Amino acid sequence: MDNLNLIELTLTCNSWQEAQKISDILLEKKLIGSVEFVEIKPKYWRQRQLDEAHNICLIMQSLNEYFDTIEAEVKEIYTNKMPILYATTMTQNSKDAVDLLLDKVR
């Protein structure tokens, strides 16, 4: 099935509360069709030292045409200065998955 401009978005949140708030708003506004919450423990360099964190990663499905609106909504809520929102184009999808997503966001 053609991709119909379907995208999968990922966003790392600082807490469960922030992840819940962001996902609830995006779902209520029908900007995303679904969301998964994944606990992650990233490790990264900060100020020349290795640092660790405990975060929640949101994995969301939507349409490419909603990306700018989703990004603006996230910026309104996000507690850090700069949310990093990634979108990946879904190139192949089952008909059932596409129908389910389109039913939720349109």
Q: Rounded to two decimals, what is the model's pTM?
A: 0.85
Dihedral sign (CA 44, 11, 9, 71) = negative
The more confident residue out of 99 and 48 is 48
Residue-wise pLDDT for 52-102, tens only, equals 989 999 999 999 999 999 999 999 988 877 788 999 998 877 888 778 788
Give me the DSSP letters along 5-57.
TEEEEEEEESSHHHHHHHHHHHHHTTS-SEEEEEEE--EEEETTEEEE--EEE
